[in-house]
Amino acid sequence: MIYDELLTFGEAQRKVMAHKRRMGFNVTDIETEFGLLLEELGELHNAWRRSRSPRPGRLTRILIALRLRPRPAVLMATADVEGEIGDVLIFMLSLTDMLGFDAALAVARKMQVNSQRNYRRLANGMQVKED
């Protein structure tokens, strides 16, 4: 079965669970699903590390900053990374379903909370929420 249509969170959640049931995969053991999700996150990280472009040398970085040389592509090979992102999302959607939540509603509620937070930038450039 090929999925050529874009899915909403809700549709994807239902299709993921239907596929898992049809294939006889885990649909009840939450602890196992967490473990599998963590494995998939590790595989995503490894795929990203293997496929990213090498860091340019100092002179090249200066030329890029001065816009005298184009910025290299972030990823050289994207298929592996995209596949692993798909796996992580599939496990997240199935875990969401097993825990009894609606993925779309969970994201919408969290985005609402995040939109009302205050953040500050650390010296290293990372943003962190203020307490």
Q: What are phi and psi of 58, to 5 degrees?
A: -60, -50
Residue 3 has pLDDT above 70, yes or no: no
Q: State the pLDDT at residue 56.
A: 80
Is residue 92 situated within a structural domain? yes
Is residue 1 situated within a structural domain? no
Is residue 120 situated within a structural domain? no
Residues of the chain with pLDDT > 70, as a percent, come to: 97
- The domain that holds 91 is classified in CATH as 1.10.287
Angle of helix 9-23 versus helix 103-115 axis, rounded to 10: 140
Is residue 115 situated within a structural domain? no
Taking only the tens place, the pLDDT of each residue in 52-74 is 877 788 888 888 888 888 877 77
Taking only the tens place, the pLDDT of each residue in 73-105 is 776 778 899 999 999 999 999 999 999 999 999
Is residue 113 situated within a structural domain? no
Is residue 131 situated within a structural domain? no
Give me the chain's average pLDDT, please.
90
Number of domains in the chain: 1
Quick check: 80 and 86 in contact, CB under 8 A? Answer: no
Taking the whole predicted model, whether its pTM rises above 0.85 is answered as: no
Domain of 45 in residue numbering reads as 9-99
End-to-end CA distance of the chain: 47
Is residue 3 situated within a structural domain? no
